[in-house]
Chain A
């Protein structure tokens, strides 16, 4: 019984840490999808860029962890504004196929550039001393970094949700997701709103990539390899939803960890089947509007 209990705690803990990273990366994708109906498969590129910038700033230039994260998030957000204004914006009215092809093209280019600059090997994450090792909670101890990861992510998520619920900007975003034309008629500048939201989502993804470098290894194939996870979170949560992806990320993170821990032979198998089954039951996702 004790073994069972301790295993469940471990699974829950590591699953939760994984879920936080998944959510922080994917929430931007969900909002982009809901706001602009844009199928941005290249969303993982922003997370990858965040991871590379964070690790490089720390390992090569000795920037402290916190500053490196903020720097990566801001840099990626700025880069995404440039991309959004010059490239993405031209395809808002275009068909889904065009958007998919364009974003796949971006992934291919990003993968090549990253390989050229950083080489094919995964980047190492050198954690600051204060965050490495174990932390003792009395009944058992947990890895400090993962504990910190869960805590800081929860803070971020609360800030994000409050921002969406309580601020003027958040209200505008919600209005535009619900009914863009109505929002425009009311004088909301949706073009500017898109750019800001896109930058926010990309910045968050970069933050998630940097924070989660320990869990989702930073290597050139990142944007391809984890794409299906990001898409699953968004599809299961419901496109355009803010909270849906959170529930989806927790379900996915915990069950993925559980199956990889308990039955490594079947691995990611069960997850795919569960997701397929869930979408058969609710094609629009858990919190999506059909």
Chain B
């Protein structure tokens, strides 16, 4: 019974994930796209919870929905969210090629999974109750993956400095 409930939640979350992803791509108004991305991230967090990744799910909601999407919405409000109509003028060569390329990626991986998803992909490992908990993530980050942790801080610092420099207005007469 519990397994059935997990399946129901999983199917609902996956359907919301894929349909909101398509909505992000197809809305002509960037504001609606950013709002659809929130639905996308929320349903992704549900899948993360089913995968026993509680800390990653919480970080995902905080970092993405709390910070990145808000930043997107500010920039869209600043630029005035103009609509670009991707479907104006019927199917072009570029749009057909885009559909073919995206479909090729999807078909390739689905075929590989179908061919190779034998017994090796069937049974998940037994995991302890602490799997994915903040204490376990912290032990991994400050133990075996300390270098990744430190490099991450440098990446964030460089991105912050770059954002400040890009956002600083240079007066027109001082421009070289």
Asked if A and B bind, the verdict is no
